[in-house]
Amino acid sequence: MPDQAPTTAHRNQRRTLIGVVTRDQMNKTRRVDVERLVKHPRYGKFVKKRTVCYVHDEKNETHVGDTVEIMETRPMSKQKCWRLVRVVTKAPAKVQVAEPPAV
């Protein structure tokens, strides 16, 4: 039976990551940075590494600073092969400071 299509349970087990939205200027696309700690091979110190993922956000619901969960999917464009699963935490809203009137 190796020529059968994969079952939906096996197909839905795709890689998921949690990262922070760093750019939201494109329509339906977000840039998400996923950070990880890697042990240096010689010195043993843990170093931060990051992976940049372009994510499909159908409703444009995320903004810069949001923590999101993303899932790997088929390629949608040259760079975009992840999709938004959910927003874990929203970023605090930016406070706009009113400028003093010009004299």
Residue matched to tokens 């990262």: 19
Q: Which amino acid is at 82?
A: W
Q: What is the pLDDT along the chain (103 residues), one digit of tens a residue?
A: 556 666 666 666 899 999 999 999 999 999 999 999 999 999 999 999 999 999 999 999 999 999 999 999 999 999 999 999 999 999 888 766 667 777 7
Residue matched to tokens 């091979």: 41
Say what the pLDDT of residue 90 is.
93
Q: Which amino acid is at 55?
A: V
Asked if residues 73 and 81 have their Cβ atoms less than 8 Å apart, the reply is yes
Distance of alpha carbon 28 from alpha carbon 69, whole angstroms: 16
Say what the pLDDT of residue 100 is.
73
Say what the pLDDT of residue 99 is.
73
Say what the pLDDT of residue 93 is.
81
User: What backbone torsions phi and psi does residue 11 show, to the nearest 5 degrees?
Assistant: -70, -30
Residue matched to tokens 């700690």: 37
Structure tokens belonging to residue 14: 């795709």
